[in-house]
């Protein structure tokens, strides 16, 4: 948290209480990032942090976190497993698995194969629990260009709520039977939500960077427009 972030609310609190809130926010973010990097391995997290295994477990219990929530999050060295090129498009999965911790704020539904989801939905963004979704658009010649294959543990349609573009011609189709969780877009603007879950803000930024890399990389693959 920056020195200016939440300065008004912090200064309205007694010093010790305000300090504790900052310490708790840092501790939660630190332990979440630590477990994300070790794939939920508590022993490895303890070694990397210099803390005892018991201390790590106490921090998890204090912030009501479970190491199992981080097991699907691949360490940075394994990025190639979740971000890979396949036949001129990219496949991404598991990069937002940590959002499973807040599925109580979403509505789940099942979708059949070849179902078209509303791209740029004005009220929601989605988390894929099961199945696969393709994101595609039309080339200048009118041919479909598959930009990305989205696998389980990945958010989608969140980008349309973060940026504004006059060019919105992409589409979303299920490649198989899917289970999705639908989050209200208001979460993306909810400061209190991200103060309570700073690890989700960090994860969102990280995944947006991965997706941006996928899009920019395709600028160097003109063959996929043929």
What pLDDT is recorded for position 155? 94
Tell me: do 107 and 198 sit in the same domain: yes
Q: How many domains does the chain have?
A: 2
Tell me: do 17 and 106 sit in the same domain: no
What pLDDT is recorded for position 2? 42
Question: Which residue, 70, 91, 119, sits at the end of a domain?
Answer: 70
Question: Which residue, 25, 55, 70, sits at the end of a domain?
Answer: 70
- The pLDDT profile of the chain, 226 residues, written as one tens digit per residue, is 444 444 456 677 788 887 788 788 888 888 888 888 787 888 888 888 888 888 888 888 888 887 777 764 444 444 444 444 444 457 888 999 999 999 999 999 999 999 988 766 778 999 999 999 988 876 666 666 777 889 999 999 888 777 655 445 678 899 999 999 999 999 998 999 999 999 999 999 888 888 887 776 666 554 444 4
CA distance 91 to 150: 6
What pLDDT is recorded for position 64? 82
Which range of residues forms the domain containing residue 100? 76-225
What pLDDT is recorded for position 226? 42
2 domain-assigned: no
53 domain-assigned: yes
Torsion of the alpha carbons at 166, 94, 63 and 46, rounded to the nearest 10 = -130
1 domain-assigned: no
Predicted model pTM: 0.58
Are 38 and 48 within 8 A, CB to CB? Answer: yes
Question: Which residue, 70, 89, 118, sits at the end of a domain?
Answer: 70
Are 98 and 70 within 8 A, CB to CB? Answer: yes
What pLDDT is recorded for position 75? 42
What pLDDT is recorded for position 86? 44
Residues 6+ apart with CB under 8 A from 168: 119, 120, 160
CATH assignment of the domain containing 153: 2.60.120.10
Residues 6+ apart with CB under 8 A from 155: 96, 99, 125, 126, 127, 128, 204, 207
């Amino acid at each position: 948290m920056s020195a200016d972030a939440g300065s008004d609310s912090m200064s309205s609190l007694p010093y010790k209480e305000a300090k504790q809130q900052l310490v708790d926010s840092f501790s939660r973010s630190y332990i979440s990032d630590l477990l994300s990097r070790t794939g939920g391995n508590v022993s490895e997290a303890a070694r990397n942090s210099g803390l005892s295994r018991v201390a790590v477990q106490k921090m998890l219990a204090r912030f009501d976190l479970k190491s199992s929530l981080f097991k699907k999050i691949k360490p940075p060295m394994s990025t190639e497993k979740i971000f890979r090129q396949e036949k001129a498009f990219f496949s991404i999965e598991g990069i937002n698995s940590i959002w499973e911790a807040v599925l109580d704020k979403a509505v789940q539904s099942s979708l059949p194969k070849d179902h078209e989801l509303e791209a740029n939905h004005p009220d929601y963004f989605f988390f894929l629990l099961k199945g696969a979704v393709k994101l595609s658009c039309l080339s200048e010649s009118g041919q479909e260009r598959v930009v990305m294959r989205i696998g389980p543990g990945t958010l989608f349609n969140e980008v349309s709520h973060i940026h504004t573009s006059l060019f919105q011609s992409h589409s979303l189709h299920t490649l198989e039977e899917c289970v999705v969780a639908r989050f209200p877009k208001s979460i993306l603007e909810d400061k209190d939500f991200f103060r309570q879950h700073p690890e989700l803000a960090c994860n969102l930024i990280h995944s947006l960077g991965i997706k941006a890399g996928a899009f920019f990389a395709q600028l160097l693959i003109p063959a996929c427009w043929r």
